[in-house]
Amino acid sequence: MGGNKNKPAAKQDKGTAVGPAGEIKPAAKEEKKKPQQKQKLAVTIDENQGMKAIQGMKAITVQSVAKAAGVKISVANSLVKTLEAKGVVKKVGGYSGHKVYAKVK
């Protein structure tokens, strides 16, 4: 039933080019480009800027800190973990990656 179908004439000739004398030339191969190396970006946030971001929050989450400080969630997560280790905030609830913190008075 199925099977390969014949390609249209326009598609058949795409792989070859005919020279001025009528000889068939193979298609030019594309040059391989060297892949660009990824740039390593290091975005850091200091504690003062982090404290300003969480200043008016009742419930502190990593996502809300990232949005308020304008940084990536991974950066905000490391900030919240350092603040928790120093005793500035404490975990009050949440589960998995959605933990909720509160400021220690």
In a domain, residue 63? The reply is yes
pLDDT of residue 81: 94
CATH number of 61's domain: 1.10.10.10
In a domain, residue 83? The reply is yes
In a domain, residue 11? The reply is no
Structural domain count, the chain: 1
pLDDT tens digits, residue range 34-73? 787 877 777 788 888 888 889 989 999 999 999 999 999 9
Q: Quick check: 13 pLDDT over 80?
A: no
Q: Which of 43-47, 52-56, 75-79, 88-92 has the lowest mean pLDDT?
A: 43-47
pLDDT of residue 100: 96
* Residues in CB range of 62: below 8 A, 6 or more apart: 73, 76, 77, 80, 97, 99
Domain that holds residue 78: 47-103
* H or E element that contains 85: helix 73-86
In a domain, residue 35? The reply is no
In a domain, residue 31? The reply is no
In a domain, residue 78? The reply is yes
Prediction pTM value: 0.58
